[in-house]
Amino acid sequence: IATRLAHGTALEKLGKGCEYVIALDGDTKNSTFSIKFRDAFPNRFVECYIAEQNMVQVAIGIA
């Protein structure tokens, strides 16, 4: 299994196992397969686009 596909699959399984898992994405959902998480849990997926610095701040706020 490809590493990127494994990432998306594992993230989706984590989401199924714990309702507190939230995924942040820096506009890489297609290449990292985090789109699988987004499709399964759209209310727990935050698209931050290519503003990685802002994504860190969002993560701090969520934590």
Q: Which ranges in 2-63 belong to alpha helices (H)?
A: 3-17, 29-32, 35-40, 52-62
**Residue 51 is encoded by which pair of tokens?**
């503003």
**Catalytic residue numbers, as ranges:** 52
Distances (CA, A) of 11 to 19, 60: 12, 19
